[in-house]
Amino acid sequence: MRAILDVVMLVLNLYTWVIIASAIFSWLYAFNVVNPRNQFVAMIGQALYSLTEPLLRPIRRFLPAMGGLDLSPIVLLLGVFLAQSIIVRYVYPNVF
């Protein structure tokens, strides 16, 4: 059981970095720092979008409009941190 929890914690930790990379990539794309016509850049953008959008879309439905400011990655990061904290404090110590 500990091995499964270790894998879950690793996946949550990696997903944290994917969320951060997606937010940074969206800023780079919005300010024309990266060339969206470049095939490699488009592939990275599509991969990050595919990994994060299924969880960000429901959060965006509930957050109020902030005038172009997207706070959904922060809410998702807080959710990931909450899940990690619950696993570490309550689930992991009780596993034999």
Residue 35 pLDDT: 92
pLDDT of the residue at 94: 82
Q: At what angle do helices 39-62 and 2-30 cross, to 10 degrees?
A: 110
pLDDT at 96: 62
Structure tokens at 15: 């997903």
Please give the pLDDT value at position 68.
83
Domain that holds residue 63: 2-94
Please list the rounded mean pLDDT of every run of 10 residues in the chain (96 residues). Answer: 93 98 95 93 96 96 88 97 95 80
DSSP type of residue 69? -
Return d(Cα 10, Cα 37) in angstroms, integer: 33
Q: Are 16 and 77 in contact (CB under 8 A)?
A: yes
Domain count, the chain: 1
Q: What per-residue confidence (pLDDT) applies to 65?
A: 82
Packing angle of the helix pair 39-62, 72-86 (nearest 10 deg)? 80
CA distance 18 to 14: 6
